[in-house]
Amino acid sequence: MTMNPVTIERIRIHPIGLSLVERLRTSASHEPFKSAVIVELITSDGVTGWGECPTKMRPSYAYETMATALHVMLEFLIPALLGKTITSPTEIPALLAEVRGHPMAKFAVEAAAWDAAAKSNHMPLADLFSAHLPPGHTPKGHAVVGVSIGIQESIEKTLEIITKRLEQGYGRIKLKIEPGWDVDLARAVRAAYPDITLMLDANSAYTLADANHLKQLDDFDLLMLEQPLGYNDIYQHSKLQPRLQSLICLDESIHSADDARLAIEIGACRIINLKPARVGGFTESLELYRFCVENDVPLWIGGMLETGVGRAANLAFASLPGVTLPSDISATDRYYNPDLTEPPFTLGADSTIAIPAGPGIGVEVQRDRLEAAVAMWHATYPYRATDELLK
């Protein structure tokens, strides 16, 4: 496929804070609001592409933070891209190769380039992804999605929220767990809802010594048990999976397509969660996608409470046919009121969200909301050095 080339003329970054409709507590973190860096890439033809770095304020989910992302983007990633002409966004990783690590920061600038390239070629982002895959990977036009429920103050409260989400139309429920908030929770949920599609996510809260305890979860017909052991571990999971009937899904441990290959080959998991930000971009995501398709590995797209910028891009990827399980990409009103973008994403029939039909990510960033979110970040960022701290 012949593509119109894109010359990167300017890149602006916007650190934001955005209030959440509901805070999401996990075993690893409980941040007061959504933080992110929104990337605005402008081409020489005046086309604007948007990307989102969904990193947190603290190094909890990953080692990257808002501060590291801003530093690496400003000092290294943006200078490496300015003035460059690309014929495909898949050329971006090579331009950033001298910078080791920092996948979320790299993802954000690469995502902006994907959006700009799609818009420059008058096509939806999902179609641009499909153009980089073998024939037969035509986007479905929608993504099947589920909802994630954080750790609550009681089982009763959890059941109340599950009821609400089911009534809203979500077909897959994910519950966050941690030691002391797991077996009894799952038992109560299964007693109340014996037939729902249920999965549990530990966010690395357990060790291999907990294997016998985790085996009790086999009684509850789980879709999967997500990331029970160390956040960067593959080996220990390969010792746990044979002891469980529940299928292990790896999230935090998978940083590349090669990590996925290793995890599947040594039996560390049976399912892969793909977060494009975690693996450093959509180019690597496409490589991981190809591996899963070729090896019949169930695949789904994870979420990091993205704003409409990141949510739109993830939905485009989740609409590819090789994404075979419900993805963690809920409707806009689950997270924000208002979001940074319009129109909002709404839950449709059969627990699906439609992919915008317009070029690129298909949604419009609202400048006034973006500016307000930047102002909130600067007003509330809790880690600025102060004169008192420097004394």
Catalytic residues: 176, 275
Phi-psi region of 101 (alpha: psi -120 to 50; beta: other; left: phi over 0): left
What's at 200, amino acid-wise? L
Cα(120)–Cα(356) distance, rounded to whole angstroms? 17
Cα(49)–Cα(45) distance, rounded to whole angstroms? 12
Count CA within 13 A, CB hemisphere, residue 41.
34
CA-wise closest residue to 240 among 261, 215, 264, 259: 215
Which residues face 65 on adjacent strands? Answer: 56
Strands ordered across the beta sheet of 34-43: 48-53, 34-43, 6-18, 85-86
Q: What is residue 89's DSSP assignment?
A: G
Cα(6)–Cα(114) distance, rounded to whole angstroms? 10
Specify burial of residue 88 (Cβ count, 10 A radius: 0-12, 13-18, 19+): middle
